């Protein structure tokens, strides 16, 4: 009888920890910046990003250092999202972002960014 109570208490604690973890993750997802597709371009906060095929090709050969996830796409749900917007280390997110999907990686550059480097 005492073992059943201990197991039940452990089960309740594990369940509560799981609920807390899921709640935190859902809250973090809802706070992400929202991006929208505009044809082949991406728009967010008045900034338009265009795909850069040369940099995107480079992602297939080398892994870029990702700093953090900064966005989601309009219409994505927590349990069904498939595409992320990522910030690349050492680059401002208003100039260069990486879009990582289930089956692709692509680099998008802001129309206003200096592409001479």
> Cα(108)–Cα(38) distance, rounded to whole angstroms?
13
pLDDT confidence tier of residue 21, bands split at 50, 70 and 90: very high
Claim to verify: residue 23 and residue 75 sit in the same structural domain: no
Q: Report the domain count for the chain.
A: 2
Model pTM greater than 0.95? no
Query: For the stretch 69-95, what's the b/e string if a residue is b when 16 or more beta carbons lie within 10 angstroms of its beta carbon?
Result: ebbbbeebeeeeeebbbbbbeebebeb
pLDDT at 115 over 60: no
Residue numbers of the domain that contains 101: 34-117
Strand, helix or coil for residue 109: strand
Do residue 73 and residue 109 come from a single domain?
yes
Decide: 36 and 48 in contact? Cβ < 8 Å. no
* Statement to judge: residues 20 and 50 lie in one domain: no
Which pLDDT belongs to residue 104? Answer: 80
Does pLDDT of 78 surpass 80?
A: no
Tokens, residue 6: 């201990």
In the predicted model, what is the mean pLDDT of the chain?
84
Local structure of 11: helix, strand or coil = helix
Task: Kindly state the average pLDDT of the residues 8-32.
Answer: 93
> What are the pLDDT digits (tens) for 22-60?
999 889 988 889 999 888 889 998 899 998 887 777 665
Tell me: do 66 and 20 sit in the same domain: no
Q: What is the pLDDT of residue 10?
A: 95
Q: Do residues 56 and 23 share a domain?
A: no
| pLDDT for 12 | 96
Predicted local confidence at residue 113, as pLDDT: 62
DSSP structure string for 43-56: EETTEEEEE-HHHH
């Amino acid at each position: 009888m005492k073992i059943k109570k201990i197991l039940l208490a452990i089960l309740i604690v594990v369940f509560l920890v799981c609920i807390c973890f899921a709640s935190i993750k859902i809250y973090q997802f809802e706070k992400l910046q929202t991006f929208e597709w505009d044809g082949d371009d991406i728009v967010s906060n008045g900034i338009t990003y265009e795909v850069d095929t040369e940099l995107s090709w480079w992602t297939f050969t080398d892994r870029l250092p990702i700093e953090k996830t900064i966005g989601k796409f309009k219409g994505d749900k927590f349990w069904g999202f498939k595409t992320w917007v990522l910030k690349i280390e050492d680059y401002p997110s208003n100039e260069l972002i990486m879009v990582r999907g289930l089956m692709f990686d692509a680099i998008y550059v802001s129309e206003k960014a200096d592409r001479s480097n």
